[in-house]
């Protein structure tokens, strides 16, 4: 994890929905909160442009961040992000304090590789479907992967990639798989082109008819 993120925040004293609206509208700041690690929750405010710039980097979502509150630095991860339903602008951010010696649960994005050269697509004319775009993992904060790779090169039409098929980095485990085989979720698959199955059946029927007539 080479990227380092540090956000500067201020303690937010004026609380409530009205105060949050004023903060966003008049000060162009985003209300936030940091909690966890046995400490009291602390309402914060963060400059909007700083937060939105950081959000442009995918790594921000799976990195341990530094939240600098008036010179006091705390390590945390982004736990939740709320956006305006119409404008999609950030309206609130939740940060969870972390202890580097205590494992935490975090969602890590999936990077699907070789989709254009996937056998089921390039050779068989199928289409890739993503059932999941991230994986919830359990690991120490220092072991959080920036992303998890899933290679689609050899996947054929009708194949399904499950969580159990994905190799996770050392020290990283799947939260779902830890619950048992029934939670081995489908992550991606390659489906046959529309009408492909019907066409195959028609072809088989025609061949059977020809054989009967002979």
What confidence tens digit (pLDDT) does each residue in 37-78 have? Answer: 889 999 998 988 899 899 999 889 888 999 999 889 999 999
Query: Does residue 213 fall inside a structural domain?
Result: no
CATH number at residue 118: 2.170.120.20
Q: Among 75, 98, 121, give the residue marking a domain's end.
A: 98
The CATH number of whichever domain residue 61 belongs to comes to 2.40.240.10
Quick: pLDDT tens for 96-152.
999 989 999 999 999 999 999 999 999 999 999 999 999 999 999 999 999 999 999
* Cα–Cα distance, 105 to 139 (Å, whole number): 7
Together in a domain, 74 and 14: yes
pLDDT at 15: 62
* β-strand partners of 151: 113
Mean pLDDT of 194-201: 52
d(C-alpha 76, C-alpha 100), whole Å: 10
DSSP string, 67-134: EEETTEEEEEEEEEEEE-TTT--EEEEEEEE--TTS-EEEEEEEEEE--TT-HHHHTT--EEEES-SE
Q: Same structural domain for residues 122 and 54?
A: no
pLDDT in tens, 21-41: 555 555 578 899 999 988 999
Find the domain containing 154 and state its range: 105-197
How far apart are the C-alpha atoms of 82 and 30, rounded to whole Å? 10
Structural domain count, the chain: 2
Domain shared by 132 and 187, yes or no? yes
Q: Which residue has the higher pLDDT, 2 or 19?
A: 19
What radius of gyration do the chain's Cα atoms show?
24
Please report the pLDDT score of residue 124 as a whole number: 94
83 shares its domain with 118: no
* CB 40, CB 69: distance < 8 Å: no
> Are both 115 and 136 inside the same structural domain?
yes
């Amino acid at each position: 994890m080479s990227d380092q993120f540090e956000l500067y925040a201020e303690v937010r004293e004026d609380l409530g929905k009205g105060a949050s609206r004023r903060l966003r509208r008049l000060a162009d700041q985003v209300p936030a909160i940091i909690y966890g690690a046995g400490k009291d929750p602390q309402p914060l405010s963060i400059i909007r442009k700083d937060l939105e710039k950081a959000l442009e980097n995918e790594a921000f979502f799976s990195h341990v961040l530094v939240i600098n509150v008036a010179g006091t630095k705390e390590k945390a991860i982004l736990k939740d992000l709320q956006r305006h339903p119409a404008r999609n602008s950030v309206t609130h951010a939740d940060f969870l304090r972390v202890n580097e010696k205590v494992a935490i649960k975090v969602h890590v994005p999936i990077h699907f590789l070789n989709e254009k050269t996937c056998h089921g697509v390039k050779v068989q004319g199928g289409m890739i479907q993503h059932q999941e775009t991230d994986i919830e993992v359990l690991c120490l904060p220092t072991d959080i992967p920036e992303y998890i790779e899933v290679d689609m090169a050899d996947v054929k039409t009708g194949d399904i990639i499950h969580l159990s098929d994905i190799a996770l980095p050392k020290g990283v485990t799947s939260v779902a798989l830890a619950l048992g085989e029934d939670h081995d979720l489908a992550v991606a698959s390659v489906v046959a082109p529309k009408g492909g199955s019907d066409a195959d059946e028609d072809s088989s029927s025609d061949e059977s008819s020809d054989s009967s007539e002979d």
